[in-house]
Amino acid sequence: MSWSAALADGSLRIICGPTAAGKSSIALGLAERHGADIISADSRQIYKRFDIGTAKPTAGERTRVQHFGVDIIDPVERYSAARWARDADEWIAECEAAGRIPLVVGGTGFYIRALVEPLADSPVFDTAQRLTIGSELDQLSTEDLRRWCLLLDPARADLGRAQLLRAIETALLSGKRLSEFHAAAPRLQPRRAKFLVVDRGPELQERIARRIDEMFEAGWLDEVRRLESDVPPSAPAWMSSGYSAVRALARGEIDFDAARERILIETRQYAKRQRTWFRHQIGGTTVTRVDSGSPDAPRIIEEWWSNGA
């Protein structure tokens, strides 16, 4: 790893934390001041056309700072954490070649872990076949999926819904367990990283509510109506937080207040899971935690950036 990619100890800079905590604004400021490019570690912003509900960086922000990992696949494609880590490895190399500093930013913990503790990649299947199976599996409850997975790939049966779907899909389409693919595949080398975990404490709840209102004001409902015209219901992109409720609103199944409340509850629960993940999955002297609304935040952020450089 060249000097431009890391601190003196070889660590990659990573900013993470729950949704709506202020990670992106911090990253933009650091990138502009210190000559960095941003590598998005967000499992929702990878999908093309799903823009407003995923809080993608604006066109102006992407003009100010180069962003990698945004708008990279179609809504019907699946994209694993291992695949993201491999792509991120190439984006880091591209930053190095341009004499820029890679700055990883996002709230998808599995992506970040896959970069610093690499996973094996997943097999790629024919889109039409995958969508046919996916439309059937989507009708099943998570517990039904878990029972299927216990039969087809027991090693992955304790994971979340998206991982269960992928394991069942792989077993049915390939005749081989996903856990076996992972065991046999070559992996990237682990990376050292230093983390800035951004949060806003109790204020995060209100920030989430404000962001939802801003998304609706920006045209989220119209975006979903356009997407529904040609994106299949089983497309993985629809699993992005909030889109299910907005689809129900677009179809007239619920009113605006009910949709907003559903999204608010769902997003707050997601933020809670993120907080738990970043509290327990990373730790030690490589972690700096900051309340982005604190008066001390600018100093803490700059010290985190510069420490060890």
Q: Is 235 part of a structural domain of the chain?
A: no
Separation of alpha carbons 234 and 231, rounded Å: 8
pLDDT of residue 118: 67
pLDDT, mean of residues 265-269: 96
Looking at the 3D structure of the chain, how many domains does it have? 2
Write out the residue range of the structural domain in which residue 36 sits: 3-119+192-222+267-301
pLDDT, mean of residues 190-208: 92
b/e 26-36 (16+ beta carbons within 10 angstroms → b) = bbbebbeeeeb
* Residues 105 and 213 placed together within one structural domain of the fold: yes
DSSP 281: S
pLDDT of residue 2: 30
* Residues 115 and 69 placed together within one structural domain of the fold: yes
pLDDT, mean of residues 152-175: 86
Opening angle at CA 155, ends 151 and 157, nearest 5: 60
Question: The CATH number of the domain where 148 resides is what?
Answer: 1.10.20.140
* Residues 215 and 72 placed together within one structural domain of the fold: yes
Separation of alpha carbons 117 and 190, rounded Å: 5
pLDDT digits (tens, 9 = 90+) for 72-96: 999 999 898 889 999 999 999 999 8
* Residues 140 and 284 placed together within one structural domain of the fold: no
pLDDT, mean of residues 149-174: 86
pLDDT of residue 9: 54
> What's the number of CA atoms in the CB half-sphere (13 Å) around residue 228?
14
Is the per-residue pLDDT at 186 higher than 60?
no
Q: Is 306 part of a structural domain of the chain?
A: no
Question: The CATH number of the domain where 27 resides is what?
Answer: 3.40.50.300
* Residues 177 and 209 placed together within one structural domain of the fold: no
Q: Is 13 left (phi over 0), alpha (psi -120 to 50) or beta?
A: beta
Q: Is 156 part of a structural domain of the chain?
A: yes
Per the prediction, the chain carries an average pLDDT of 89
* Residues 109 and 18 placed together within one structural domain of the fold: yes
| pLDDT class of 107 with cuts at 50, 70, 90 | very high
Q: How many CB atoms lie within 10 A of CB 4?
A: 16
* Residues 98 and 177 placed together within one structural domain of the fold: no
Q: Is 141 part of a structural domain of the chain?
A: yes
Is the per-residue pLDDT at 120 higher than 70?
no
pLDDT of residue 74: 97
Is the per-residue pLDDT at 70 higher than 60?
yes
Is the per-residue pLDDT at 109 higher than 60?
yes
* Residues 45 and 179 placed together within one structural domain of the fold: no
Q: Is 271 part of a structural domain of the chain?
A: yes
Contact, 61 vs 28, CB < 8 A? yes
- Cβ burial of 270 (10 Å; 0-12, 13-18, 19+) is middle
Q: Is 12 part of a structural domain of the chain?
A: yes
Residue with the larger pLDDT of the pair 143 and 3: 143
| DSSP class per residue in 205-217 | HHHHHHHHHHHHH
Is the per-residue pLDDT at 241 higher than 80?
yes
Residue with the larger pLDDT of the pair 251 and 284: 251
| pLDDT class of 166 with cuts at 50, 70, 90 | confident
Contact, 41 vs 105, CB < 8 A? yes
* Residues 206 and 74 placed together within one structural domain of the fold: yes
Contact, 107 vs 130, CB < 8 A? no
Q: Is 248 part of a structural domain of the chain?
A: no
pLDDT digits (tens, 9 = 90+) for 36-66: 999 999 999 999 999 999 999 999 999 999 9
Instruction: Select from 135, 166, 184 the last residue of a domain.
Output: 184
| H helix or E strand, kind and range, residue 221 | helix 220-228
**DSSP bridge partners of 36:** 101
* Residues 179 and 209 placed together within one structural domain of the fold: no
Q: Is 282 part of a structural domain of the chain?
A: yes
* Residues 102 and 202 placed together within one structural domain of the fold: yes
- Cβ burial of 101 (10 Å; 0-12, 13-18, 19+) is buried
Separation of alpha carbons 140 and 146, rounded Å: 10
DSSP 246: H
* Residues 89 and 148 placed together within one structural domain of the fold: no
Separation of alpha carbons 129 and 9, rounded Å: 47
